[in-house]
Amino acid sequence: MDNQLFIKAYNLIKSSVNILVVIHDNPDGDAIASACLMAEVLSLIDKNYTLYCQSQTNLQFGFLPHLEKFTTSLINFNFGLIIALDCGSLKRTKLEEKIANRLPHQLALEIDHHPKIEGYADLEIRDPAAAATTEILYYFLKANKIKINKNLANCVLTGIMTDTSNFLYPSTSPQTINIASEMLMKGARLPQIMENTWRNKSIASMKTWGKAMSNLQINKTYGLAFTALLAEDVPADATEEDLEGMSGFLSNLDKVNGLILLRELKDGKIKGSLRTAKPNVDVSRLAQILGGGGHPRAAGFTIEGRLEKTEKGWKVI
């Protein structure tokens, strides 16, 4: 990527007084790690900042720096700079109106690895080929000669590992592996990351995985696997990270082109997760038709309705 963009972004950060760092709702490991990385950078240069997420951040990421600083409410919107990280769409911040209608002196910086949906930022750094947003932030650190300490290394590696399902997804590139290796040399704690992101599944979440597997079917016409979870199938303590990992795991099913996981939410909506391990299949095209988006190999959408099981399969009503 263009180093000048990273340098310009850092100059913008250094010249700003009050900074808001925002990530998407129901955040995954990459979003949380990206925000914690930025918080570490801002702390190192003594900047006043706020970390915001509309949803509660998962305590499993408590080993990351500054996680305790996240807030789910904003008293005012007096920010000179808004930094949106890992947000495929502005609406996922739940601050779309405030950000889109910000005052002329309020600037927005977006750093993301999802394909572009809308343009709103004064400065945008985007690379859909990157395995994770923290991978892009690694290049931000390098371009600006910011010394990578243990906190920063943990953030970079956590984002990469969670967004590649421990290097299993096709988005993992040779550069991704090289960055991960460097982060280990910089002090990232691989055992701790694994313990908190992969080996922490509760009995309730594992039962949810079992329910999804028992509902699994294959549409032979399209070579597409699909499964569904009703709202009552998902226990209260099952996290978004648990469920995202399930989609990726099921997409490795033999002799299918991809997977659709439909999950009933408690607010009258249905969340769809699409995954594929096939390099010639682009599931984001289907997600876009349904109002969502994402990457060619991993995408999602949310629609109104609820799920009903019929003799012919699942139906959205």
The answer on 216 and 185 residing in a single domain is no
pLDDT of residue 308: 86
Work out the average pLDDT over 252-268: 86
pLDDT of residue 242: 66
Give the chain's mean pLDDT: 90
pLDDT score of 200 more than 70: no
Model pLDDT, residue 132: 96
- Side by side, the strands of the sheet bearing 298-304 are 217-219, 224-229, 258-264, 269-275, 298-304, 293-294
According to the model, what pLDDT value does residue 59 have?
79
**50 and 92 assigned to the same domain:** yes
190 pLDDT band (50/70/90 cuts)? very high
Domain boundary pick from 176, 197, 218: 197
Within this chain, do residues 143 and 276 fall inside the same structural domain, yes or no? no
> At 290, which amino acid appears?
L
Q: Give me the mean pLDDT over the 265-277 stretch.
A: 87
pTM summary value: 0.82
Same domain membership, residue 136 and residue 15: yes
pLDDT at position 15: 97
Structural domain of residue 219, as residue ranges? 203-316
Q: Is 117 helix (H, G, I), strand (E, B) or coil?
A: coil
Q: What confidence category does residue 14 fall into, taking pLDDT thresholds of 50, 70 and 90? A: very high
The model's confidence at residue 247, banded by pLDDT at 50, 70 and 90, is confident
pLDDT at position 31, please?
Answer: 95
pLDDT digits (tens, 9 = 90+) for 68-111: 999 999 999 999 999 999 997 888 899 999 999 999 999 999 99
Place of tokens 């939410």: 265
Do 92 and 146 lie in a common domain? yes
pLDDT band at 246 (very low <50, low <70, confident <90, very high): confident
Domain check: are 60 and 175 in the same one? yes
Euclidean distance between CA atoms 86 and 106, whole angstroms? 20
- Verify that 169 and 297 share a domain, yes or no: no
Residues 55 and 171 in one domain: yes
Q: What is the pLDDT of residue 185?
A: 97
212: CATH = 3.10.310.30
* Cβ pair 80, 19 in contact under 8 A: yes
pLDDT in tens, 132-184: 999 999 999 999 999 999 999 999 999 999 988 888 777 889 999 999 999 99
Q: Looking at the structure, do residues 134 and 230 belong to the same domain, yes or no?
A: no
Which runs of E-coded beta strand occur in the chain?
A: 18-22, 48-52, 70-71, 81-85, 107-112, 123-126, 217-219, 224-229, 258-264, 269-275, 293-294, 298-304, 307-310, 313-316
Of 6 and 165, the one with more pLDDT = 6
User: Which of 19-23, 174-178, 206-210, 222-226 shows the lowest mean pLDDT across its residues?
Assistant: 206-210
Q: How many domains in the chain? A: 2
My answer on whether 42 and 181 are in the same domain is yes
* Amino acid code (one letter) for 68: E
Bigger pLDDT: 221 vs 149 = 149
Backbone angle region of 163, left / alpha / beta, with phi > 0 → left and psi within -120 to 50 → alpha: alpha
On the question of pLDDT at 53 being above 70, the answer is yes
Same domain, 185 and 159: yes
* 115-133 average pLDDT score: 92
193 shares a domain with 278 = no
